Amino acid sequence: DSVFAHLAQAPEDPILGVTVAFNKDPSPIKLNLGVGAYRTEEGKPLVLNVVRKAEQLLVNDRSRVKEYLPIVGLADFNKLSAKVIFGADSPAIQENRVTTVQCLSGTGSLRVGGEFLARNYHQRMIYIPQPTWGNHAKLFPLAGLSVKTYRYYDPPTRGLNFQGLLEDLSSAPSGAIVLLHACAHNPTGVDPTLEQWEQIRQLLRSKGLLPFFDSAYQGFASGSLDADAQPVRMFVADGGECLVAQSYAKNMGLYGERVGALSIVCKSADVAIRVESQLKLVIRPMYSNPPIHGASIVATILKDRNMFDEWTVELKAMADRIISMRQQLFEALRARGNPIEDHFRTPGNWSHIIKQIGMFTFTGLNSEQVAFMTREYHIYMTSDGRISMAGLSSKTVPHLADAMHAAVT
Ligand code: PMP
């Protein structure tokens, strides 16, 4: 008998499991709105032109070899990634107070940051929003941190529970780490306003709480890299310390290349050097050093003024298509008889679809309604009612609107 014979069958991942179920469905009208990956109007995955161009340059460069990268990754990639998130003229970068290491996309950056904190920081408690991306609650405990939640989403208004957020973070123990979504909060699509961010910043700084930003959607929310980085830059501008996990999965469409970065902003250049030395001790026994291809694509694009500009144009086009899907879905639902004036009544007001930001709409549909839509309409999404707007097209909006309308009436 196998030495593993006692193993129970583990459940599918709640997000990736949606695609497993979708793939098994033979229906020709099936629609996968579960996975957070961009699709074109034709429903196809997209490789950016500028990425193809960068890959061509890399392939043609015979001087490129397959040697190991350093433990911290590709130097150009790290330097340029810091500029993308903190701004090209960031004083923190100029003062050499930022250390950046290449990691395995956003997830790997969060994990390395978590382990670094568990080993080197006096407070092990990390506060994550309620709700949040499901992997946060799984990866931080494995990194050695203990997870608590702070109130974030307000179901009745389908907006931010700002009072609850302030209360919960006010009562956090001094020094606690606070996970913040830099923009386009997943799964709710609800972000604080800049005024609210400023209050959050003041609270965190006055209580000595340590901000850890998860930036998985920079540029994807508004279409502008700089606008989406505003909250992070507010926290860096005050001279305080923070961590940022960056992902190029969405904004450069490099999902499977696993390319991201962890930056730690420190009070001084001297501390930043020692922080980096400790990050290497976390990374070396975990995966030794990161892969070269994805980071080379990113560095090639970020280094070249024209390619960088081309990227921002393609990025904005993705963001704009998503924003237009929100508008189309909202109008399709309204046409089916859910007037916007119908505040808080069943079948309800769908205006949150156009108010929310980023890749996802948190529809407010419950797990029974989701199950109904999957059963009757072959529409797949996570059971919390989150739908990926990037998986929609003008052709599929009517089908989704029919299903949502039927689910609530
Ligand atoms: N954080 C959030 C909030 C996300 O939505 C995602 C992607 N779903 C990630 C991090 C990490 O993604 P990746 O590891 O693919 O960069």
CB of residue 106 inside a 6 A radius of ligand 1: yes
Q: Are 126 and 177 in contact (CB under 8 A)?
A: yes
- Please write the tens of the pLDDT for every residue from 347-384: 567 889 999 999 999 998 999 999 999 999 999 999 99
Residue closest by Cα to atom 2 of ligand 1 = 216
Kindly give the number of the ligand 1 atom that is closest to the alpha carbon of 109: 14
Q: How far is CA 150 from CA 162, 166, 180, 382, in A?
A: 10, 9, 11, 22
Residue closest by Cα to atom 7 of ligand 1 = 216
Residue 348: predicted pLDDT: 62
* DSSP 8-class letter at 346: S
CB of residue 222 inside a 6 A radius of ligand 1: no
Residue closest by Cα to atom 16 of ligand 1 = 106
Query: 215: CA distance to ligand 1 center in Å?
Result: 8
Residue closest by Cα to atom 8 of ligand 1 = 36
Query: Nearest-CA neighbor of 338 among 406, 249, 256?
Result: 406
Query: 185: CA distance to ligand 1 center in Å?
Result: 11
Q: Is the peptide bond before 347 cis (omega within 30 degrees of 0)?
A: yes
Kindly give the number of the ligand 1 atom that is closest to the alpha carbon of 132: 3
CB of residue 133 inside a 6 A radius of ligand 1: yes
CB of residue 215 inside a 6 A radius of ligand 1: no
**Element of type H or E holding 405:** helix 397-408
Dihedrals φ, ψ of 260, to 5°? -160, 180
Query: Nearest-CA neighbor of 54 among 302, 368, 246?
Result: 302
Q: Consecutive sets of 10 residues in the chain, 409 residues long: mean pLDDT of each?
A: 95 84 94 91 95 97 94 98 97 98 98 98 98 96 98 92 98 97 95 98 98 97 96 97 98 98 98 98 98 98 98 97 95 77 55 91 92 96 92 95 91
Residues sharing a CB contact under 8 Å with residue 91, sequence separation 6 or more, in sequence order? 237
Amino acid sitting at position 201: R
**Measured between alpha carbons, how far is 188 from 137 in angstroms, rounded to an integer?**
16
- Please write the tens of the pLDDT for every residue from 121-143: 999 999 999 999 999 999 999 99
C-alpha of 95 from chain center? 28
In a 3-state reduction of DSSP, which class is residue 120?
helix
Kindly give the number of the ligand 1 atom that is closest to the alpha carbon of 359: 5
Q: Are strands 146-151 and 31-32 parallel, antiparallel or unpaired?
A: unpaired
Query: Nearest-CA neighbor of 90 among 262, 237, 256, 242?
Result: 237
CB of residue 214 inside a 6 A radius of ligand 1: yes
Residue 13: predicted pLDDT: 82
Residue 128: predicted pLDDT: 98
CB of residue 247 inside a 6 A radius of ligand 1: yes
Provide the β-strand partners of residue 151.
130
Q: How far is CA 343 from CA 22, 346, 348, 351, 367, in A?
A: 34, 9, 6, 9, 22
**Measured between alpha carbons, how far is 201 from 73 in angstroms, rounded to an integer?**
31
**Buried b / exposed e across 73-106, counting CB within 10 Å, b at 16+?**
bbeebbebbbebbbbeebebbeeebbbbbbbbbb
By residue count, the chain amounts to: 409
* DSSP 8-class letter at 71: T
Kindly give the number of the ligand 1 atom that is closest to the alpha carbon of 181: 3
Residues sharing a CB contact under 8 Å with residue 47, sequence separation 6 or more, in sequence order? 253
Catalytic positions: 133, 214, 250
CB of residue 73 inside a 6 A radius of ligand 1: no
Residue 338: predicted pLDDT: 56
Task: Report ipTM (2 d.p.).
Answer: 0.98
Query: Nearest-CA neighbor of 172 among 135, 226, 211?
Result: 211
